[in-house]
Protein backbone atom coordinates (compact mmCIF):
# COMPACT_ATOMS: atom_id res chain seq x y z
CA UNK A 1 0.00 0.00 0.00
CA UNK A 2 1.25 3.48 -0.82
CA UNK A 3 1.88 5.87 2.02
CA UNK A 4 0.47 9.37 1.99
CA UNK A 5 3.05 11.98 1.08
CA UNK A 6 4.03 15.31 2.57
CA UNK A 7 5.53 17.72 0.05
CA UNK A 8 7.31 20.94 0.98
CA UNK A 9 6.85 23.63 -1.63
CA UNK A 10 9.53 26.34 -1.76
CA UNK A 11 8.81 29.76 -3.25
CA UNK A 12 12.27 30.71 -4.43
CA UNK A 13 13.67 34.18 -5.10
CA UNK A 14 17.40 34.46 -5.86
CA UNK A 15 18.28 31.05 -4.39
CA UNK A 16 16.38 31.87 -1.18
CA UNK A 17 13.17 30.30 0.06
CA UNK A 18 10.63 33.01 0.79
CA UNK A 19 7.16 33.02 2.23
CA UNK A 20 4.51 35.25 0.81
CA UNK A 21 2.59 36.63 3.74
CA UNK A 22 -0.90 37.66 2.72
CA UNK A 23 -1.75 41.36 3.03
CA UNK A 24 1.85 42.24 3.94
CA UNK A 25 3.72 43.49 0.88
CA UNK A 26 7.18 41.96 0.53
CA UNK A 27 7.73 38.22 0.98
CA UNK A 28 9.60 37.17 4.11
CA UNK A 29 13.03 35.55 3.72
CA UNK A 30 13.23 32.05 5.25
CA UNK A 31 16.49 30.30 4.30
CA UNK A 32 18.84 29.33 1.46
CA UNK A 33 16.98 26.87 -0.74
CA UNK A 34 19.65 24.15 -0.80
CA UNK A 35 20.15 24.34 2.97
CA UNK A 36 16.45 24.11 3.69
CA UNK A 37 16.11 21.27 1.16
CA UNK A 38 18.83 19.33 2.99
CA UNK A 39 17.15 19.97 6.34
CA UNK A 40 13.80 18.79 5.01
CA UNK A 41 15.42 15.72 3.46
CA UNK A 42 17.01 14.78 6.78
CA UNK A 43 13.63 15.27 8.42
CA UNK A 44 11.99 12.64 6.10
CA UNK A 45 10.02 14.95 3.80
CA UNK A 46 8.65 12.74 1.02
CA UNK A 47 9.10 15.12 -1.86
CA UNK A 48 9.99 18.73 -2.66
CA UNK A 49 8.58 21.27 -5.06
CA UNK A 50 10.67 24.26 -6.08
CA UNK A 51 8.91 27.27 -7.58
CA UNK A 52 11.00 29.95 -9.22
CA UNK A 53 8.28 32.49 -8.59
CA UNK A 54 9.74 35.50 -10.45
CA UNK A 55 10.93 33.70 -13.59
CA UNK A 56 7.72 34.50 -15.47
CA UNK A 57 7.69 38.21 -14.57
CA UNK A 58 11.38 38.55 -15.31
CA UNK A 59 10.88 36.76 -18.64
CA UNK A 60 13.73 34.32 -18.06
CA UNK A 61 14.08 30.56 -17.85
CA UNK A 62 14.05 28.58 -14.64
CA UNK A 63 17.07 28.93 -12.34
CA UNK A 64 18.98 25.73 -13.19
CA UNK A 65 21.70 26.45 -10.70
CA UNK A 66 19.37 26.03 -7.76
CA UNK A 67 17.99 22.78 -9.20
CA UNK A 68 21.55 21.40 -9.41
CA UNK A 69 22.36 22.53 -5.88
CA UNK A 70 19.27 20.89 -4.43
CA UNK A 71 19.82 17.72 -6.48
CA UNK A 72 23.27 17.38 -4.93
CA UNK A 73 21.77 17.32 -1.43
CA UNK A 74 18.56 15.36 -1.68
CA UNK A 75 17.80 11.86 -2.93
CA UNK A 76 14.04 12.08 -3.06
CA UNK A 77 11.92 13.25 -5.98
CA UNK A 78 11.50 16.94 -6.52
CA UNK A 79 9.47 18.90 -8.99
CA UNK A 80 10.09 22.37 -10.36
CA UNK A 81 7.86 25.12 -11.65
CA UNK A 82 8.17 28.66 -12.96
CA UNK A 83 10.20 29.68 -15.99
CA UNK A 84 9.23 26.62 -18.00
CA UNK A 85 8.49 27.69 -21.57
CA UNK A 86 8.60 24.48 -23.57
CA UNK A 87 10.16 21.08 -24.11
CA UNK A 88 13.74 22.31 -24.15
CA UNK A 89 13.43 24.11 -20.80
CA UNK A 90 11.77 21.00 -19.36
CA UNK A 91 14.70 18.92 -20.59
CA UNK A 92 17.18 21.34 -19.01
CA UNK A 93 15.36 21.16 -15.67
CA UNK A 94 15.22 17.35 -15.72
CA UNK A 95 18.85 17.09 -16.75
CA UNK A 96 19.76 19.34 -13.83
CA UNK A 97 18.22 16.79 -11.47
CA UNK A 98 14.50 17.55 -11.20
CA UNK A 99 12.11 14.60 -11.52
CA UNK A 100 8.90 16.45 -12.28
CA UNK A 101 7.78 19.58 -14.06
CA UNK A 102 4.88 21.54 -12.67
CA UNK A 103 2.79 23.26 -15.33
CA UNK A 104 0.33 25.98 -14.42
CA UNK A 105 -0.51 29.10 -16.48
CA UNK A 106 1.49 27.89 -19.48
CA UNK A 107 -0.70 24.77 -19.72
CA UNK A 108 -3.92 26.81 -19.66
CA UNK A 109 -2.66 29.02 -22.48
CA UNK A 110 -1.22 26.09 -24.42
CA UNK A 111 -2.71 22.74 -23.31
CA UNK A 112 -0.65 20.84 -25.91
CA UNK A 113 2.42 21.43 -23.76
CA UNK A 114 1.06 18.75 -21.41
CA UNK A 115 0.94 16.08 -24.10
CA UNK A 116 4.25 17.18 -25.60
CA UNK A 117 5.91 16.95 -22.18
CA UNK A 118 4.30 13.61 -21.37
CA UNK A 119 5.33 12.19 -24.74
CA UNK A 120 8.91 13.39 -24.43
CA UNK A 121 9.58 12.50 -20.79
CA UNK A 122 6.67 10.33 -19.62
CA UNK A 123 3.42 11.23 -17.90
CA UNK A 124 5.03 10.82 -14.47
CA UNK A 125 7.08 13.93 -15.20
CA UNK A 126 4.15 16.22 -15.75
CA UNK A 127 2.30 17.68 -12.79
CA UNK A 128 -0.66 19.80 -13.78
CA UNK A 129 -1.03 22.52 -11.17
CA UNK A 130 -4.54 23.93 -11.04
CA UNK A 131 -5.29 27.05 -9.02
CA UNK A 132 -8.98 27.00 -8.15
CA UNK A 133 -11.22 29.73 -6.79
CA UNK A 134 -14.86 29.47 -5.84
CA UNK A 135 -17.26 30.81 -8.44
CA UNK A 136 -20.93 29.81 -8.27
CA UNK A 137 -21.37 30.53 -11.97
CA UNK A 138 -19.12 27.59 -12.86
CA UNK A 139 -20.76 24.13 -13.18
CA UNK A 140 -18.47 22.68 -10.47
CA UNK A 141 -18.52 25.87 -8.43
CA UNK A 142 -14.78 26.44 -9.00
CA UNK A 143 -12.93 28.45 -11.63
CA UNK A 144 -9.33 28.05 -12.83
CA UNK A 145 -7.04 31.04 -12.26
CA UNK A 146 -3.64 31.71 -13.82
CA UNK A 147 -0.69 34.07 -13.36
CA UNK A 148 -0.13 33.41 -9.70
CA UNK A 149 -3.87 33.25 -8.96
CA UNK A 150 -4.48 36.73 -10.41
CA UNK A 151 -6.31 36.06 -13.67
CA UNK A 152 -9.69 34.30 -13.98
CA UNK A 153 -9.95 32.08 -17.06
CA UNK A 154 -13.67 31.27 -17.30
CA UNK A 155 -12.52 27.62 -17.28
CA UNK A 156 -14.23 25.15 -14.97
CA UNK A 157 -11.85 23.34 -12.63
CA UNK A 158 -13.33 19.88 -13.28
CA UNK A 159 -13.37 20.36 -17.05
CA UNK A 160 -9.72 21.38 -16.90
CA UNK A 161 -8.70 18.49 -14.63
CA UNK A 162 -10.31 15.95 -16.97
CA UNK A 163 -8.71 17.57 -20.01
CA UNK A 164 -5.32 17.70 -18.28
CA UNK A 165 -5.54 14.02 -17.42
CA UNK A 166 -6.53 13.06 -20.96
CA UNK A 167 -3.62 15.09 -22.35
CA UNK A 168 -1.27 13.01 -20.24
CA UNK A 169 -0.66 14.74 -16.91
CA UNK A 170 0.62 12.11 -14.48
CA UNK A 171 -0.40 13.97 -11.37
CA UNK A 172 -2.70 16.86 -10.56
CA UNK A 173 -1.97 19.39 -7.85
CA UNK A 174 -4.90 21.56 -6.81
CA UNK A 175 -4.43 24.79 -4.90
CA UNK A 176 -7.42 26.38 -3.26
CA UNK A 177 -6.93 30.12 -3.70
CA UNK A 178 -9.68 30.77 -1.15
CA UNK A 179 -7.91 28.74 1.52
CA UNK A 180 -4.32 29.70 0.78
CA UNK A 181 -2.80 31.58 3.70
CA UNK A 182 -5.92 31.21 5.87
CA UNK A 183 -4.69 28.25 7.99
CA UNK A 184 -8.30 27.00 8.07
CA UNK A 185 -7.70 23.63 6.47
CA UNK A 186 -7.74 22.18 2.97
CA UNK A 187 -10.82 22.65 0.79
CA UNK A 188 -12.21 19.11 1.22
CA UNK A 189 -15.23 19.79 -0.99
CA UNK A 190 -12.99 20.86 -3.88
CA UNK A 191 -10.72 17.82 -3.51
CA UNK A 192 -13.68 15.40 -3.40
CA UNK A 193 -15.04 16.86 -6.62
CA UNK A 194 -11.68 16.43 -8.36
CA UNK A 195 -11.02 12.91 -7.03
CA UNK A 196 -14.26 11.59 -8.43
CA UNK A 197 -13.57 13.16 -11.83
CA UNK A 198 -10.05 11.85 -12.50
CA UNK A 199 -7.96 8.73 -11.78
CA UNK A 200 -4.53 10.32 -11.60
CA UNK A 201 -2.89 10.82 -8.20
CA UNK A 202 -3.81 14.11 -6.54
CA UNK A 203 -1.96 16.64 -4.42
CA UNK A 204 -3.83 19.17 -2.28
CA UNK A 205 -2.46 22.61 -1.53
CA UNK A 206 -3.63 25.63 0.43
CA UNK A 207 -5.01 26.12 3.89
CA UNK A 208 -3.09 23.81 6.20
CA UNK A 209 -2.38 25.38 9.58
CA UNK A 210 -2.33 22.47 12.00
CA UNK A 211 -1.76 18.68 11.92
CA UNK A 212 -5.50 17.97 12.17
CA UNK A 213 -5.96 19.56 8.74
CA UNK A 214 -3.72 16.88 7.22
CA UNK A 215 -5.59 14.17 9.07
CA UNK A 216 -8.89 15.52 7.78
CA UNK A 217 -7.58 15.60 4.20
CA UNK A 218 -6.16 12.07 4.32
CA UNK A 219 -9.18 10.50 6.02
CA UNK A 220 -12.00 12.28 4.18
CA UNK A 221 -10.53 12.12 0.67
CA UNK A 222 -8.41 9.77 -1.48
CA UNK A 223 -5.86 12.55 -2.01
CA UNK A 224 -2.39 11.01 -1.79
CA UNK A 225 -0.21 14.00 -1.07
CA UNK A 226 -0.38 17.35 0.66
CA UNK A 227 1.70 20.43 0.20
CA UNK A 228 2.77 21.96 3.47
CA UNK A 229 5.00 24.97 3.78
CA UNK A 230 3.44 27.43 6.21
CA UNK A 231 3.22 24.75 8.88
CA UNK A 232 6.93 24.12 8.53
CA UNK A 233 8.27 27.66 8.52
CA UNK A 234 5.72 30.47 8.23
CA UNK A 235 6.41 33.30 10.70
CA UNK A 236 2.66 33.99 10.74
CA UNK A 237 1.83 30.76 12.54
CA UNK A 238 2.14 30.67 16.31
CA UNK A 239 3.61 27.19 16.07
CA UNK A 240 5.73 25.59 13.36
CA UNK A 241 6.01 21.83 13.06
CA UNK A 242 8.70 19.40 12.00
CA UNK A 243 8.03 16.88 9.24
CA UNK A 244 8.79 14.12 11.72
CA UNK A 245 6.23 15.31 14.26
CA UNK A 246 3.55 15.67 11.57
CA UNK A 247 4.22 12.16 10.26
CA UNK A 248 4.23 10.75 13.75
CA UNK A 249 0.85 12.38 14.46
CA UNK A 250 -0.67 11.08 11.22
CA UNK A 251 0.74 7.61 11.69
CA UNK A 252 -0.62 7.39 15.23
CA UNK A 253 -4.00 8.27 13.79
CA UNK A 254 -3.93 5.45 11.27
CA UNK A 255 -2.64 7.24 8.17
CA UNK A 256 0.06 5.19 6.37
CA UNK A 257 3.25 7.25 6.35
CA UNK A 258 6.91 6.63 5.60
CA UNK A 259 8.52 7.15 8.97
CA UNK B 1 34.24 1.09 -14.43
CA UNK B 2 30.59 1.54 -13.48
CA UNK B 3 28.74 2.65 -16.58
CA UNK B 4 25.34 4.34 -16.47
CA UNK B 5 23.58 4.21 -19.81
CA UNK B 6 22.42 7.69 -20.76
CA UNK B 7 19.69 8.07 -23.33
CA UNK B 8 17.80 11.30 -23.66
CA UNK B 9 14.52 10.31 -22.03
CA UNK B 10 16.03 8.49 -19.05
CA UNK B 11 16.86 9.94 -15.65
CA UNK B 12 20.55 9.08 -15.81
CA UNK B 13 21.58 12.28 -13.93
CA UNK B 14 19.67 11.24 -10.78
CA UNK B 15 21.23 7.78 -10.86
CA UNK B 16 24.69 9.22 -11.49
CA UNK B 17 24.26 11.68 -8.66
CA UNK B 18 23.36 8.92 -6.17
CA UNK B 19 26.21 6.63 -7.30
CA UNK B 20 28.82 9.40 -7.05
CA UNK B 21 27.40 10.56 -3.72
CA UNK B 22 28.12 7.04 -2.44
CA UNK B 23 31.75 7.51 -3.42
CA UNK B 24 31.90 5.27 -6.48
CA UNK B 25 33.55 6.22 -9.76
CA UNK B 26 31.05 6.09 -12.57
CA UNK B 27 30.75 7.42 -16.08
CA UNK B 28 27.91 7.62 -18.57
CA UNK B 29 27.77 5.25 -21.52
CA UNK B 30 26.29 6.86 -24.61
CA UNK B 31 27.66 4.40 -27.16
CA UNK B 32 28.67 0.74 -27.50
CA UNK B 33 32.30 1.84 -27.35
CA UNK B 34 31.76 3.50 -23.96
CA UNK B 35 30.23 0.30 -22.64
CA UNK B 36 33.23 -1.86 -23.49
CA UNK B 37 35.16 -1.23 -20.25
CA UNK B 38 32.11 -1.74 -18.00
CA UNK B 39 32.44 -3.90 -14.91
CA UNK B 40 28.95 -2.89 -13.86
CA UNK B 41 26.13 -1.45 -15.95
CA UNK B 42 23.11 0.51 -14.74
CA UNK B 43 20.22 1.11 -17.10
CA UNK B 44 18.02 3.89 -15.67
CA UNK B 45 14.59 4.55 -16.97
CA UNK B 46 11.62 6.83 -17.00
CA UNK B 47 9.03 7.38 -19.70
CA UNK B 48 7.74 4.71 -22.04
CA UNK B 49 9.09 1.25 -22.84
CA UNK B 50 8.82 1.89 -26.55
CA UNK B 51 10.72 5.19 -26.45
CA UNK B 52 13.39 3.51 -24.34
CA UNK B 53 13.80 0.58 -26.75
CA UNK B 54 13.93 2.98 -29.69
CA UNK B 55 16.57 5.13 -27.99
CA UNK B 56 18.72 2.11 -27.19
CA UNK B 57 18.41 0.82 -30.75
CA UNK B 58 19.27 4.25 -32.15
CA UNK B 59 22.38 4.32 -29.95
CA UNK B 60 23.47 0.93 -31.39
CA UNK B 61 24.29 -0.16 -27.89
CA UNK B 62 22.19 -3.32 -27.53
CA UNK B 63 24.61 -5.85 -29.05
CA UNK B 64 27.42 -4.67 -26.80
CA UNK B 65 25.04 -4.61 -23.79
CA UNK B 66 23.92 -8.19 -24.36
CA UNK B 67 27.48 -9.33 -24.91
CA UNK B 68 28.55 -7.75 -21.63
CA UNK B 69 25.60 -8.87 -19.52
CA UNK B 70 24.63 -12.22 -21.02
CA UNK B 71 28.02 -13.56 -22.15
CA UNK B 72 30.58 -11.85 -19.93
CA UNK B 73 28.18 -11.78 -16.95
CA UNK B 74 28.87 -8.18 -16.06
CA UNK B 75 26.84 -7.06 -13.04
CA UNK B 76 23.71 -5.28 -14.25
CA UNK B 77 20.98 -3.17 -12.66
CA UNK B 78 17.86 -2.06 -14.52
CA UNK B 79 15.67 0.61 -12.98
CA UNK B 80 11.94 1.18 -13.65
CA UNK B 81 11.50 1.13 -17.45
CA UNK B 82 15.07 -0.17 -17.45
CA UNK B 83 13.59 -3.24 -15.76
CA UNK B 84 10.43 -3.44 -17.87
CA UNK B 85 12.28 -3.73 -21.18
CA UNK B 86 14.14 -6.79 -19.88
CA UNK B 87 10.91 -8.79 -20.22
CA UNK B 88 9.64 -10.35 -23.41
CA UNK B 89 6.79 -8.00 -24.07
CA UNK B 90 5.21 -4.82 -22.74
CA UNK B 91 1.58 -3.90 -23.25
CA UNK B 92 2.69 -0.28 -23.47
CA UNK B 93 2.39 0.52 -27.18
CA UNK B 94 2.90 -3.24 -27.80
CA UNK B 95 6.64 -3.14 -27.33
CA UNK B 96 8.96 -6.13 -27.75
CA UNK B 97 11.52 -6.23 -24.95
CA UNK B 98 14.91 -7.90 -24.63
CA UNK B 99 13.49 -11.12 -23.19
CA UNK B 100 16.20 -11.58 -20.54
CA UNK B 101 13.37 -12.42 -18.14
CA UNK B 102 10.39 -14.57 -19.13
CA UNK B 103 7.14 -12.71 -18.69
CA UNK B 104 5.32 -9.60 -19.74
CA UNK B 105 4.61 -6.09 -18.59
CA UNK B 106 0.97 -5.08 -18.14
CA UNK B 107 -0.94 -1.94 -17.21
CA UNK B 108 -2.52 -1.27 -13.84
CA UNK B 109 -6.30 -1.26 -14.01
CA UNK B 110 -7.41 2.36 -13.46
CA UNK B 111 -10.82 1.06 -12.33
CA UNK B 112 -9.08 -0.47 -9.30
CA UNK B 113 -6.12 1.78 -8.51
CA UNK B 114 -4.92 5.30 -9.25
CA UNK B 115 -2.61 5.25 -12.25
CA UNK B 116 0.30 5.86 -12.24
CA UNK B 117 1.27 4.33 -8.93
CA UNK B 118 3.11 7.30 -7.52
CA UNK B 119 4.71 7.35 -4.11
CA UNK B 120 6.33 5.30 -1.40
CA UNK B 121 5.54 1.63 -1.10
CA UNK B 122 6.96 -1.10 1.10
CA UNK B 123 9.27 -3.63 -0.55
CA UNK B 124 9.57 -7.12 0.84
CA UNK B 125 12.66 -8.93 -0.42
CA UNK B 126 11.79 -12.60 -0.77
CA UNK B 127 14.97 -14.30 -1.91
CA UNK B 128 18.61 -14.31 -0.96
CA UNK B 129 21.00 -13.01 -3.57
CA UNK B 130 24.64 -11.90 -3.37
CA UNK B 131 23.28 -8.36 -2.80
CA UNK B 132 22.39 -8.10 0.89
CA UNK B 133 18.97 -6.65 1.70
CA UNK B 134 18.58 -7.23 5.45
CA UNK B 135 19.06 -3.52 6.17
CA UNK B 136 16.48 -2.37 3.61
CA UNK B 137 13.90 -5.13 3.86
CA UNK B 138 10.29 -3.93 4.39
CA UNK B 139 11.34 -0.30 3.97
CA UNK B 140 9.57 2.16 1.69
CA UNK B 141 10.88 2.87 -1.79
CA UNK B 142 9.64 5.44 -4.30
CA UNK B 143 7.61 4.17 -7.24
CA UNK B 144 6.32 5.87 -10.37
CA UNK B 145 4.81 3.41 -12.79
CA UNK B 146 1.70 2.76 -14.82
CA UNK B 147 2.88 -0.68 -15.93
CA UNK B 148 4.22 -3.59 -13.92
CA UNK B 149 5.95 -6.86 -14.68
CA UNK B 150 4.36 -10.29 -14.39
CA UNK B 151 7.07 -12.96 -14.18
CA UNK B 152 6.62 -16.42 -15.70
CA UNK B 153 9.21 -17.98 -13.42
CA UNK B 154 8.62 -17.12 -9.77
CA UNK B 155 12.25 -18.04 -9.07
CA UNK B 156 13.13 -14.71 -10.73
CA UNK B 157 11.20 -12.73 -8.12
CA UNK B 158 13.56 -10.84 -5.83
CA UNK B 159 11.02 -8.70 -4.01
CA UNK B 160 7.35 -7.75 -3.94
CA UNK B 161 5.11 -4.84 -2.97
CA UNK B 162 1.37 -4.51 -2.56
CA UNK B 163 -0.67 -2.24 -4.82
CA UNK B 164 -4.16 -3.68 -4.69
CA UNK B 165 -2.53 -7.11 -4.97
CA UNK B 166 0.99 -8.42 -5.20
CA UNK B 167 3.30 -6.41 -7.41
CA UNK B 168 6.71 -7.34 -8.83
CA UNK B 169 9.03 -4.94 -7.03
CA UNK B 170 12.30 -6.40 -8.28
CA UNK B 171 13.73 -9.40 -10.08
CA UNK B 172 17.09 -11.12 -10.16
CA UNK B 173 18.79 -13.94 -12.01
CA UNK B 174 22.54 -14.56 -11.94
CA UNK B 175 24.26 -11.21 -12.54
CA UNK B 176 21.06 -9.44 -13.64
CA UNK B 177 19.23 -7.32 -11.09
CA UNK B 178 16.29 -5.07 -11.85
CA UNK B 179 14.07 -2.87 -9.71
CA UNK B 180 10.72 -1.33 -10.59
CA UNK B 181 11.06 1.37 -7.91
CA UNK B 182 13.51 4.25 -8.06
CA UNK B 183 16.19 3.50 -5.48
CA UNK B 184 18.10 6.60 -6.61
CA UNK B 185 15.36 8.85 -5.22
CA UNK B 186 14.24 6.68 -2.31
CA UNK B 187 16.14 8.58 0.35
CA UNK B 188 18.80 6.99 2.56
CA UNK B 189 17.22 3.54 2.22
CA UNK B 190 17.48 3.72 -1.56
CA UNK B 191 21.11 4.79 -1.33
CA UNK B 192 21.75 1.86 0.97
CA UNK B 193 20.37 -0.61 -1.57
CA UNK B 194 22.46 0.93 -4.37
CA UNK B 195 25.52 0.72 -2.14
CA UNK B 196 24.81 -2.93 -1.32
CA UNK B 197 24.50 -3.61 -5.04
CA UNK B 198 27.68 -1.75 -6.04
CA UNK B 199 29.66 -3.26 -3.14
CA UNK B 200 28.75 -6.69 -4.50
CA UNK B 201 30.24 -5.65 -7.83
CA UNK B 202 33.44 -4.45 -6.20
CA UNK B 203 33.81 -7.84 -4.51
CA UNK B 204 33.20 -9.76 -7.73
CA UNK B 205 35.29 -7.60 -10.07
pLDDT per residue as tens digits for the range B35-89: 999 999 999 987 788 989 999 999 999 999 999 999 999 999 999 999 999 999 9
| Contacts with B14 from chain A: Cβ below 8 Å | 71, 97, 99
CB-nearest partner of A120 from B9, B140, B163: B9
Nearest chain B residue to A225, by CA: B119
Report the C-alpha gap between A18 and A234 in whole angstroms. 9
Q: What pLDDT score was predicted for residue A22?
A: 62
- The verdict on A213 touching B (C-beta cutoff 8 Å) is no
Tens digits of residue pLDDT in B112-124 = 998 899 999 999 9
**List of chain A residues whose C-beta atoms are within 8 Å of the C-beta of residue B48:** 122
Q: Is the pLDDT of residue B205 over 50?
A: no
**Mean pLDDT, range B151-180, rounded to an integer:** 97
Task: Confirm or reject contact between A168 and chain B (CB < 8 A).
Answer: no
Average pLDDT over residues B10-28: 92
Look at residue A108 in the predicted model and tell me its pLDDT. 97
- Set of chain A residues whose Cβ sits within 8 Å of the Cβ of B136: none
Q: Does residue A60 belong to the interface with chain B, where contact is any CB pair within 8 Å? A: no
**Minimal-distance CA residue of chain A relative to B16:** A97
pLDDT attached to residue B11: 80
Residue A27 to chain B, least CA–CA distance (Å): 31
**A230-256 as b/e, with b when 16 or more CB fall inside 10 Å?**
bbbbbeeeeeebebeebbebbeeeebb
Other residues' Cβ atoms within 10 Å of the Cβ of residue A38: 16
- pLDDT over threshold 90, residue B203: no
Put simply, the answer to whether A124 touches B184 (Cβ < 8 Å) is no
Backbone conformation region of residue A201, classed left if phi is above 0, alpha if psi is from -120 to 50, else beta: beta
User: Which chain A residues are closer than 8 Å to B9 by Cβ?
Assistant: 120-122
Class of domain A5-252: alpha beta
Rounded distance between C-alpha atoms, residue A220 and residue A200, angstroms: 18
Check pLDDT > 70 for residue B204: no
Low-confidence ranges of chain A (pLDDT < 50): none
Contact assessment for residue A174 and residue A205, using Cβ atoms and an 8 Å cutoff = yes
Counted across chains A and B, CB pairs separated by less than 8 A come out at 97
Cβ contact, residue pair B118, A124, below 8 Å: yes
* Contact between chains at A71 and B17 (C-beta distance less than 8 A): yes
The residues of B annotated as belonging to the active site are 80, 182, 184
Indicate the pairing of strand B157-162 with strand B26-29: unpaired
Q: Would an 8 Å CB–CB cutoff place A43 in contact with chain B?
A: no
Whether pLDDT at B10 is above 70: no
Chain B CB within 8 Å of residue A96 CB: yes
ipTM: 0.92
pTM of the full structure = 0.94
Q: Is A122 on the interface with B (CB under 8 A)?
A: yes
Contact A258/B144, CB-based, under 8 Å? no
**In angstroms, rounded to a whole number, what is the distance separating the alpha carbons of residues B1 and A29?**
44
List the single residue in A3, A91, A199 with the smallest CB-CB distance to B119: A3
Amino acid sequence: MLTKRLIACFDIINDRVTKNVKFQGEPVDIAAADTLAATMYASQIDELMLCDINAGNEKRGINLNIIKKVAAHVFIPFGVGGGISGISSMFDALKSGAEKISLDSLAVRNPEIISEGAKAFGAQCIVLHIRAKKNDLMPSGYEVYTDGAKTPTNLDVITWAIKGESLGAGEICVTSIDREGTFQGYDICLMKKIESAVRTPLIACGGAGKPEHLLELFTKTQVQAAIISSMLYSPLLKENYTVKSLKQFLSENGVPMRL
Amino acid sequence: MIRIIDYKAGNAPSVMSSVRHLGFNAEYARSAQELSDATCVILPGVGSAKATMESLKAMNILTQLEKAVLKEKVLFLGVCVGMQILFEHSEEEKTEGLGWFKGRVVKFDPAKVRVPQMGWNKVKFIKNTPVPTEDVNNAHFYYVNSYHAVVDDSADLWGVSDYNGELTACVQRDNIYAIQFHAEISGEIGLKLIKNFLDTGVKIC
